[in-house]
Structure 1
Amino acid sequence: MSPSTSSPTPLDGDHRDADTLRVGVIGLGYAGTTHLESFRSLPGIEVVALAGKERERLELLSAQHGIAHTYADGDELIARDDLDIVSIATPNVLHDRLAVTALEGGKHVFCEKPLAVTAEGAQAMIDAATRAGRVLDAAFNHRRRADVQWVADYLRTEGIGRIYHARASWKRRSGIPGLRSWFTSLELAGGGALIDLGPHVIDTLLHLLGEPRVRTVSAVTHGELGRAGYGAMDRVDQMTSGADFGVEDLAAALLRLEDGASVALEISWAGHTVDDEDISIELLGVDGGVRLFIPRYKGEDTIRVFRDRAGTALTLAPDVRVAGGEHPVVIAEFVETVRAQREGRPVRDEAEHHRRLLERVRIIDACYRSAAQGQEVVV
């Protein structure tokens, strides 16, 4: 028996407002809590159920947010027949199975990144969404930052000529999320730094580049610091044995795009470097360049534009300020897509959206295959 205050069937379905979307959230960590708070901040949304393995955390969140129905098992939450949306923020390896179950049960699904740990898992989710006619989306909130949107607009309106190379990275000095957490278990996470931070960097980069196809990948991975006991985000774990550290703390790759452009990608949880919590995307074009540099989630002075005017090198620093709150924005967009689908007024090309979701997973999947095989692989 799970610690549930309800059966899987609705207790209050007779009092439902037809316009209210009812949500169940699976996962109690930072991501799950962020999903929960973001859904609750939106009008016309009611979070009615919460699931997670940590009993004390489950009871705390349910009390704080007035959620009556709690479950230790995500499948029990999904079995409720009064839910419209299931939000998934569990260890990565569970994403595809839970999502497919929810989609086949007629629920729309919002999933934390990565969508799945393998391309096959992501494809199964997409196929289930297509068969059920339900909305499937992932928590790519970084592309909603105001500075990212400014760069996207600049590239669309001003342009920097043909972009022939890009450098993209997320680097931390001590950012391994627990040397003994599920994040560092290959069986539960499917990988380390690359599958944790990489989806955001890859999604933002592809968004800025206009969604090009990645043709081949040549990648390497290293887990030296984690195994040596360095780099933990929680200093209590620092300098302790990391023998059970089963994933990479650094991944680097060269991506070749179908249009001949290239991308140098580096993602790291830890390193004896000056980098602390630094996200960087640099685009090199024939007529100019743009660098987006975000140290420690900084919200201002993050953009530089490089141009050559009449033989003079110019550097522009636009005044763009990031207000934050990107998770509620991406979840609001998901909710609007659900409402539009229910009302028969689609707001996007679902097939193209699914292609983009799958592309992110396929790139990371290819990076891991390349690193394991020691050679370049086709995406």
Structure 2
Amino acid sequence: MSNALRVGVVGHGNIATIAQLPTLVTRDDVEMAALVSILPDPEPVKRRWGFQNAYPTLEAALDAQELDAVFILTPRSEHLAMTKTALEAGVDVFCEKPLATTAAGAQMLAETAEKNGRILQVGFNRRFAPVYAAAHDSFGETGASFCVAQKNRAGSEYRATFENAIHMVDLVRWFCGGEPVEVTAYAAGEDKWQEDGISALIHFDNGHTGVVVGARNAGGWNERLDAYGQMTSASVVAPDSVTITRPEGTSLREMTPENFGWATATETMGFAGAVHHFLDRVRDRGVPLVSGAEAVKTQQLLERILEVSGLPTDEQPGRVWSSHAKK
């Protein structure tokens, strides 16, 4: 297309390979202009996804050609510097969650995006998952009076709550609405940098209540959400089903039958929807559902939960990421 969006992608790890990259190549209005890779030979990755050029750094890519948008799909420690570089170069940015390693850093990036008139979206993909979106919509603008969001797994990892339970914090904010006014939270485990889990109770200024559970000593992977209010109950078993119950009856929506057995995580977990939403906002200049400013609020609430529970709110100097999570 003559008006194709010139897109750059920084990073091509596991999530990028199953989520953002497969979605980008389906768009006929996207030009895969630049790949940024630390590989000594990025040619196989470049060919696989149809990139026109490959560069060792984001700065090199921005110096060499004009880009309309950049996807920052790197480890979180690199998000702040790369996102700031792209925004100040006049490029719209999709950044994986979390936006930065601290809420203060995320706030700075949101302000940088606003100052430069750029679109900034953060990869809280659950908001675009069909089952979560259907449950959310069932409560309308009023939101859910009560919401319990859980993401449990067998085996912990470095800063497990910050890395994983942040999705549930974002969902509780989205479902309940309002601003948090009171937070109670407890962590489990002897290593505060690799906790066994967390539970949190959040009271919002509109009277709604949210509960977050992130157990990393569970028997297996499990993600679900239950919400109540306005004579409506919504139950999500992610990413497969959502049940909506009202006095007049119950409806069940299941992803696998709906997709004739071909449901994939790219679609059902909201990764594809998030990418499409961002690219559409780049074109129409609208505010993303999970803008930088919105993501900051989620990260600020998460930091409150970490502080109250006694967990660290910043990275441990010299600590290398590790995971004992089981699939």
| TM-score under structure 1 length normalisation | 0.70
Equivalent residue number for residue 166 of structure 1 = 147
Deviations 1:261-314 (A, max 9, x none): 32221113x31x44x2211211233734322222xx3x24x4253x568xxxx7
Q: Residue 36 of structure 1 contacts residue 47 of structure 1 at CA under 8 Å; is this kept in 2?
A: no
SS at 1:318's partner residue? strand
Give the length in aligned residue pairs.
Answer: 301
Which of 169, 190, 205 is matched with 2:172 structurally? Answer: 205
Q: Residue 88 of structure 1 contacts residue 112 of structure 1 at CA under 8 Å; is this kept in 2?
A: yes
Equivalent residue number for residue 197 of structure 2 = 250
Deviations 1:85-114 (A, max 9, x none): 111011112212111110000110001111
Query: Gaps (5+ residues) in structure 2?
Result: 257-262, 313-327
Which of 22, 28, 49 is matched with 2:6 structurally? Answer: 22
Residue 206 of structure 1 and its aligned partner are, at CA, apart by 2.7
Paired with 1:329 and 1:283, the residues of 2 have a C-alpha distance of 22
Equivalent residue number for residue 370 of structure 1 = 308
Provide closer, same or farther for how the CA distance between residues 154 and 260 of structure 1 changes in structure 2, counting only shifts above 3 A.
Answer: closer
Which of 253, 276, 299 is matched with 1:361 structurally? Answer: 299
Equivalent residue number for residue 323 of structure 2 = none
Superposed structure 1 runs of 4+ greater than 6 Å apart: none
Q: Residue 129 of structure 2 contacts residue 273 of structure 2 at CA under 8 Å; is this kept in 1?
A: no
Equivalent residue number for residue 182 of structure 2 = 216
Deviations 1:116-154 (A, max 9, x none): 221111111111111111100012222222222222232
Which of 255, 265, 283 is matched with 1:339 structurally? Answer: 283
1:119 aligns with 2:103: yes
Which of 109, 112, 122 is matched with 2:93 structurally? Answer: 109
SS at 2:284's partner residue? helix
Q: Residue 50 of structure 1 contacts residue 70 of structure 1 at CA under 8 Å; is this kept in 2?
A: yes
Paired with 1:153 and 1:167, the residues of 2 have a C-alpha distance of 16
Deviations 1:23-42 (A, max 9, x none): 11111212333322222221
Q: Residue 32 of structure 1 contacts residue 88 of structure 1 at CA under 8 Å; is this kept in 2?
A: no
Query: Gaps (5+ residues) in structure 1?
Result: 1-16, 185-191, 228-244, 342-346, 375-379
Provide closer, same or farther for how the CA distance between residues 138 and 251 of structure 1 changes in structure 2, counting only shifts above 3 A.
Answer: same
Provide closer, same or farther for how the CA distance between residues 85 and 353 of structure 1 changes in structure 2, counting only shifts above 3 A.
Answer: closer
Equivalent residue number for residue 187 of structure 1 = none
Q: Residue 193 of structure 1 contacts residue 251 of structure 1 at CA under 8 Å; is this kept in 2?
A: no
Residue 205 of structure 1 and its aligned partner are, at CA, apart by 2.9
Residue 223 of structure 1 and its aligned partner are, at CA, apart by 4.7
| TM-score under structure 2 length normalisation | 0.80
SS at 2:295's partner residue? helix
Q: Residue 41 of structure 1 contacts residue 328 of structure 1 at CA under 8 Å; is this kept in 2?
A: no
Percent of residue pairs bearing the same amino acid type: 23
Q: Residue 70 of structure 2 contacts residue 86 of structure 2 at CA under 8 Å; is this kept in 1?
A: yes
SS at 1:266's partner residue? strand
Provide closer, same or farther for how the CA distance between residues 146 and 373 of structure 1 changes in structure 2, counting only shifts above 3 A.
Answer: closer
Residue 171 of structure 1 and its aligned partner are, at CA, apart by 0.5
Equivalent residue number for residue 42 of structure 1 = 27
Paired with 1:75 and 1:194, the residues of 2 have a C-alpha distance of 32
Paired with 1:194 and 1:331, the residues of 2 have a C-alpha distance of 24
Paired with 1:317 and 1:283, the residues of 2 have a C-alpha distance of 15
Equivalent residue number for residue 235 of structure 2 = 291
Q: Residue 185 of structure 2 contacts residue 308 of structure 2 at CA under 8 Å; is this kept in 1?
A: yes
Equivalent residue number for residue 316 of structure 2 = none
Paired with 2:145 and 2:297, the residues of 1 have a C-alpha distance of 20
Residue 221 of structure 1 and its aligned partner are, at CA, apart by 3.1
Residue 317 of structure 1 and its aligned partner are, at CA, apart by 4.4
Which of 131, 134, 138 is matched with 2:122 structurally? Answer: 138
